[in-house]
């Protein structure tokens, strides 16, 4: 039977053991951070910056472990930064903001905390605050490529593509090995109609990360926009190797095949889209457009009707159907389809203008039936 003295000694030993374990944990965490505080270099190049944060990655301790660290040292700014990263990843943006701000309050030069804060604000569409956070990081370190990337994605989100391009180029100047900076640059250039520049940027992104499905997809679009049909086809096929069940890739390939007069391949690609995604109304609309260009009016009408069955709110499909009826001199039906299209989209008052735009965006044919890019 334990005496009171031996019981007190046993309790003291247990308490000491718990304290010692916490101290050892804290030392281990600090050593780990000293060796590699933000994660592996490869992660920096491949992670989704909008969801996991721009800037160096935190090593990834659990919320519980970080809170234990703060019990020992409430002034550990890196622990608050880690909590902010966890909360942001879990989309607990209010908690993330508080954690990042606490880290900055404890250490006004905690640059990764400004990165995290900038992305937290952007996820809440607080663009001005996000811009301020990234610019503050740059004030602390003018060679901070992560902060320039953050600004690039921020400006892109606001459709300020010229400013985004400038920010991404600055990030690349600082860090020429940044996959995400080249990818962001490519997107900004593409959306400004600078297709040759976007092609070059996506090729560089692929050189850095050859397993990037997204970069191959965007390369295919950039080549297609320049009527480089073979280049576009090759890029989309490479993307398919990386993501073989992606329906949108078959849609893109169908357009490229048609522009090359590979009609059988174009039709099969669209049918594959429907197999992978049976509720894809745009695939049925494009299939209808394909058959219309082949003068197969009956099957074209069936395809358009299926598209309408799946999505009765698409003005594009009604425009396409009206065009089909017009071509067959079914005036009453054409008028009804065009009126429905205008009802769904009153801002477009000309069905013919809309269909001309539709044919161009599909990479298919002009109104005279001449394949584009030939």
State residue 353's pLDDT score: 58
Identify the bridge partners of residue 371 per DSSP, sorted by sequence position.
365
User: In whole angstroms, what is the distance from residue 303 CA to residue 291 CA?
Assistant: 9
pLDDT (average), residues 338-358: 69
Q: Is there a contact between 326 and 334 (Cβ–Cβ < 8 Å)? A: yes
Residue 165: pLDDT band (50, 70, 90) is very high
pLDDT (average), residues 58-86: 84
pLDDT tens, 193-234? 999 999 999 999 999 999 999 999 999 999 999 999 999 999
Q: Is there a contact between 231 and 223 (Cβ–Cβ < 8 Å)? A: yes
User: In whole angstroms, what is the distance from residue 256 CA to residue 226 CA?
Assistant: 12
pLDDT (average), residues 359-374: 36
State residue 352's pLDDT score: 52
Element housing 89 (H / E): helix 77-89
192: left (phi over 0), alpha (psi -120 to 50) or beta: alpha
Residue 11: pLDDT band (50, 70, 90) is low
Q: Give every CB contact of residue 150 below 8 A, 6+ residues apart in sequence.
A: 49, 54, 55, 115, 118, 119, 122, 130, 134, 137
Q: Give a yes or no: residue 20 inside a domain.
A: no
pLDDT tens, 273-320? 999 999 999 999 999 999 998 899 999 999 999 999 999 999 889 999
Residue 151 has pLDDT above 70, yes or no: yes
Q: What letter does residue 199 receive in the DSSP assignment?
A: H
Residue 362 has pLDDT above 50, yes or no: no
- Joined tokens for residue 125: 């569409």
Q: What letter does residue 79 receive in the DSSP assignment?
A: H
Q: Give a yes or no: residue 332 inside a domain.
A: yes
Dihedral angle sign, alpha carbons of residues 130, 133, 137, 138: positive
Residue 64: pLDDT band (50, 70, 90) is confident
C-beta atoms surrounding 176 within 10 Å: 12
Q: Give a yes or no: residue 356 inside a domain.
A: yes
Q: Give every CB contact of residue 73 below 8 A, 6+ residues apart in sequence.
A: 26, 79
194 or 15: which carries more pLDDT confidence?
A: 194
Residue 351 has pLDDT above 90, yes or no: no
Whether this model's pTM surpasses 0.85: no
pLDDT (average), residues 30-58: 36
State residue 8's pLDDT score: 62
Q: Give a yes or no: residue 201 inside a domain.
A: no
Helix residue ranges, H only, 90-212: 93-106, 111-123, 127-140, 145-157, 161-174, 179-191, 195-208
Q: Give a yes or no: residue 300 inside a domain.
A: yes
29 or 147: which carries more pLDDT confidence?
A: 147
Residue 345: pLDDT band (50, 70, 90) is confident
User: In whole angstroms, what is the distance from residue 232 CA to residue 227 CA?
Assistant: 8
State residue 62's pLDDT score: 83
The domain tally of the chain equals 1
Q: Is there a contact between 233 and 256 (Cβ–Cβ < 8 Å)? A: yes
Nearest C-alpha neighbor of 152 from the set 141, 168, 140, 136: 168
Q: Which domain holds residue 356?
A: 272-365
What percent of the chain has pLDDT above 70?
Answer: 76
Residue 368: pLDDT band (50, 70, 90) is very low
Residue 51 has pLDDT above 80, yes or no: no
Q: Is there a contact between 222 and 190 (Cβ–Cβ < 8 Å)? A: yes
Q: What letter does residue 76 receive in the DSSP assignment?
A: -
Residue 280 sits in a domain whose CATH number is 1.25.40.10
Residue 192 has pLDDT above 60, yes or no: yes
Dihedral angle sign, alpha carbons of residues 193, 196, 200, 203: positive
Could you give the 3-state DSSP secondary structure of residue 97? helix
Q: Give a yes or no: residue 331 inside a domain.
A: yes
Backbone angles phi, psi at 271, to 5 degrees: -65, -35
C-beta contacts of 231-240 below 8 A and 24+ residues apart: 231/199, 232/256, 233/257, 233/260, 239/213
pLDDT (average), residues 91-116: 94
Identify the bridge partners of residue 365 per DSSP, sorted by sequence position.
371
Q: What letter does residue 58 receive in the DSSP assignment?
A: P
Residue 336: pLDDT band (50, 70, 90) is very high
Q: Give a yes or no: residue 1 inside a domain.
A: no
Q: Give a yes or no: residue 126 inside a domain.
A: no
């Amino acid at each position: 039977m334990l005496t009171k003295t031996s019981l007190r000694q046993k309790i003291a030993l247990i308490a000491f053991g718990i304290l010692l374990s916490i101290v050892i944990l804290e030392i281990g965490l600090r050593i780990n951070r000293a060796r590699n505080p933000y994660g592996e270099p490869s992660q920096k190049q491949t992670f989704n910056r909008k969801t996991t944060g721009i800037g160096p990655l935190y090593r990834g301790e659990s919320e519980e472990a970080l809170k234990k660290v703060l019990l020992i040292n409430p002034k550990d700014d890196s622990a608050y930064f880690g909590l902010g990263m966890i909360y942001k990843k879990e989309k607990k943006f209010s908690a993330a903001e508080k954690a990042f701000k606490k880290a900055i309050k404890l250490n006004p030069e905690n640059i990764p905390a400004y990165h995290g804060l900038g992305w937290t604000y952007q996820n809440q569409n607080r663009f001005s605050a996000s811009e301020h956070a990234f610019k503050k990081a740059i004030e602390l370190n003018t060679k901070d490529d992560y902060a320039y990337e953050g600004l690039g994605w921020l400006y892109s989100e606001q459709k300020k593509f010229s400013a985004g391009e400038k920010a991404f180029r600055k990030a690349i100047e600082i860090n020429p090995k940044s996959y995400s900076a080249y990818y962001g640059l490519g997107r900004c250039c593409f959306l400004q109609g600078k297709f040759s520049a976007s092609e070059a940027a996506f090729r560089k992104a692929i050189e850095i990360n050859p397993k990037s499905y997204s970069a191959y997809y965007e390369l295919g679009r950039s080549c297609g926009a320049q009527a480089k049909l073979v280049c576009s086809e090759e890029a989309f096929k490479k993307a398919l190797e990386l993501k073989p069940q992606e329906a949108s890739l078959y849609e893109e390939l169908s357009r490229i095949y048609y522009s090359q007069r590979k009609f059988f391949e174009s039709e099969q690609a669209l049918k594959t889209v429907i197999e992978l995604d049976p509720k894809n109304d745009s695939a049925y609309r494009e299939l209808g457009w394909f058959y219309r260009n082949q003068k197969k009016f009956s099957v074209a009408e069936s395809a358009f009707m299926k598209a309408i069955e799946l999505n009765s709110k698409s003005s594009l499909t009604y425009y396409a159907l009206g065009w089909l009826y017009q071509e067959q001199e079914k005036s009453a039906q054409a008028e009804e389809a065009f009126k429905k299209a205008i009802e769904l989209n009153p801002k477009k008052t000309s069905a013919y203008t809309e269909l001309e735009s539709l044919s161009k965006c599909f990479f298919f044919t002009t109104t005279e039936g001449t394949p584009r890019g030939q």
